[in-house]
Amino acid sequence: MADKASGSIRAQQNKIKQQMRADIEGTQSIADQLTGKQPIGSKRLQTANTTKKKPTTPEKVDTKKLEKFIDFMEESYKTTTNKVEITRKI
């Protein structure tokens, strides 16, 4: 039990540390922009997580299936709102 508790505490501490790092980097970026060290609107280069994503090819969409799905979603929305109205009246 102690191992699980200490593990979850460590996980929470790591999350807090990551958030603090992100806050510090954001603050530093703003300071650099205000002092002119970094152009406004540009983002700092991140050293971590620099894996390149493969370009994705857009999938072909079957418009008939999409139209049927949209109709289905509209009908289900109407029926749920009708059920809500009926239950409100009761």
Per-residue pLDDT of the chain (90 residues; tens, 9 = 90+): 455 666 788 888 888 888 888 777 777 777 776 776 766 555 555 555 556 666 677 677 788 888 888 888 888 888 877 777 777 776
At residue 78, the pLDDT reads 82
Which domain covers residue 64, as residue numbers?
59-90
What pLDDT is attached to residue 52? 65
List C-alpha distances in Å: 23 to 4, 16, 47.
Answer: 29, 10, 16
pTM of the predicted model, to two decimals?
A: 0.32
Residues 6+ positions from 39 with CB-CB distance below 8 Å? 33
The pLDDT assigned to 16 comes to 87
9 within domain boundaries? yes
The C-alpha atoms of residue 89 and residue 7 are separated, in whole angstroms, by 51
Q: Are residues 33 and 70 in the same domain?
A: no
Tell me if 53 is assigned to some domain: no
Query: pLDDT value at position 45?
Result: 53
38 and 64: one domain?
no
